Amino acid sequence: MNRVPLSFGDVAAATGGQLIRGHETQPVEGISIDSRTLVPGDLFVAIRGERFDGHRFVADAFARGALGAVVDAGGGGEAGGSWAQVGGTSALLTVEDTTRALQEVARHVRRRSGARVVAITGSAGKTTTKEIAAAFLAVRHRVYRNRGNLNNHIGLPLSLLELRSCPDVAVVELGMNHPGEIRTLVSVAEPDVRVWTNVGDAHMGFFASADAIADAKGEILEQARPGDVLVANADDPRITARIGAFGGSVVTFGVDAPAEVRASSVVVRGLEGTTAQVSTPAGEFHLETPLLGMANLSNVLAATAVAVHFGVPLDAIAGAATGLRPAPHRGELIRLPGGLTLVDDSYNSSPSALARALETVAGATGSARKIAVLGEMLELGSHATTLHERCGRAAAAAGLHLLITVGGGAARTMAEAAVAAGMPAPSVIHVGSSAEATEVAVARTRPGDLVLVKGSRGIGTDVVVERLKAEFA
């Protein structure tokens, strides 16, 4: 199998750094930013982060077998001395900024790999769309997908370094919570195909408005070459208002608005998934997917547009769609032996994503009672109270038998709004932590119930899922 060669000289050339010790021809087998997981022979890059500074661990990296290190030119040794005194004869490269150097080496590998890169951004559904697109593309191509959600200024370059294996296509996601971050990631990934799934209210605390979020996400449109392709959600007006700025070609997907890839005759079957007729530039096919809800239908359409662009046959897309499964904690449907049905959406939450999850629960049939354990949604800033109230009203409208809210004042506001919207007060319980929510959920659930668990990662609602799985195993 082909593999992109990489030497200390290549790293120096890509970063504009100075190799103050070592040989340019020395090959680099792997790159690490963590001395604890470093494999002997790796090149260690000393990243400075908000809570750590890799320069403190350069000597440890050498002790663990690093063949070389990339360090800031202005720094000193671990005790403040010269870098030349650290690591004996191991290679040492100095650069102006080690994070930027990591990104520059990743871009070098991305270019040399020959892989075509698909980059996905949006307020929700990035990881799910990435996984679906990778599954569709794998029918015809050798595909790399970045692990988990390694989608920021450090995680993305670490993912792109894996392209040394020379896949046909790489599918990655681009995350952000501040303006300018997508722009940086686009410059590193240089995507051939960009996917913009939606504009929502995640990270609203860092922005003045949803339009400001759209402007930041809209950085996915920048630095486009004439041959680049944008796959855009035609049902999102904030996206369609901005795609005219894209310098390549545009393929739209949607349900409600006219689009090149469009679903019609949609049947949402509750916990059984969704069916639809899908039209594409390559023809039509009947879609059946076990993924829950309209949000996932949108994700499937985006992935279909990508797959059609890469020549995947429609019958292969249809076949792959029947076997799709959500990523862990991202809308997993779990039917437990003890008779409990869980919708595990505990990985993260935002107001718009929670509203869609509640719609799915509301449309589900066959359960004796419907219960929701909803964690506080973080990073909403001054919008937190209003948005949690809105979600409380949505919970009341979903026909829940029991609502458990988890977290601080905003979560309490969600509970109060549910009662104000008509839920009986004894059916709404607010607790301060997921540990408390676990005890309440275990005490109040019984066989035949349907339980939705969703919350921001910082609230840790996944512990509720794990305890219920153990209780109803």
Domain 8-98 and domain 332-471, same fold? Reply is no
Rounded to the nearest integer, the mean pLDDT of the chain is 94
pLDDT beyond 80 at 1:
no
Q: Looking at the DSSP assignment, which residues form a beta bridge with residue 119?
A: 172, 194
Single-letter residue type at 209: S
**CATH superfamily of this structure's domain 8-98:** MurE/MurF, N-terminal domain (3.40.1390.10)
At residue 83 the predicted structure's pLDDT band, cuts being 50, 70 and 90, is: low
Q: What is the mean pLDDT of residues 250-254?
A: 98
Class of domain 114-322: alpha beta
- The β-bridge partners of 267 are 275
Helix (H, G, I), strand (E, B) or coil at 141: coil
Residue 348, pLDDT > 70, answer yes
**Residue-range domain boundaries for the chain:** 8-98, 114-322, 332-471
Of residues 151 and 403, more confidence is placed in: 403
- Mean pLDDT on 221-230: 97
Sequence length of the chain is: 473
Is 172's pLDDT higher than 80?
A: yes
- What does the pLDDT average to over 137-161? 92
Cβ–Cβ under 8 Å, residues 293 and 331: yes
CA distances from 212 to 21, 215, 349, 352, 448 (A): 47, 5, 20, 16, 44
Amino acid identity at 37: T
Which residues fall within 8 angstroms of residue 401, CB to CB, at 6 or more apart? Answer: 369, 370, 371, 427, 449
Between 190 and 366, the more confident residue is 190
- pLDDT of 288-344, one tens digit each? 999 999 999 999 999 999 999 999 999 999 999 999 999 889 999 999 999 999 999
Percent of the chain with pLDDT over 70: 97
Partnered with residue 374 across adjacent β-strands are 405, 454
- What is the phi/psi pair of residue 194, to 5°? -115, 140
Q: Which helix (H) or strand (E) holds 187?
A: helix 181-189
Q: What span, in angstroms and rounded, lies between the C-alpha atoms of 132 and 287?
A: 13
- The domain covering 332-471 belongs, at the CATH homologous superfamily level, to Mur ligase, C-terminal domain (3.90.190.20)
Half-sphere exposure of residue 177: CA atoms within 13 angstroms, side-chain side: 10
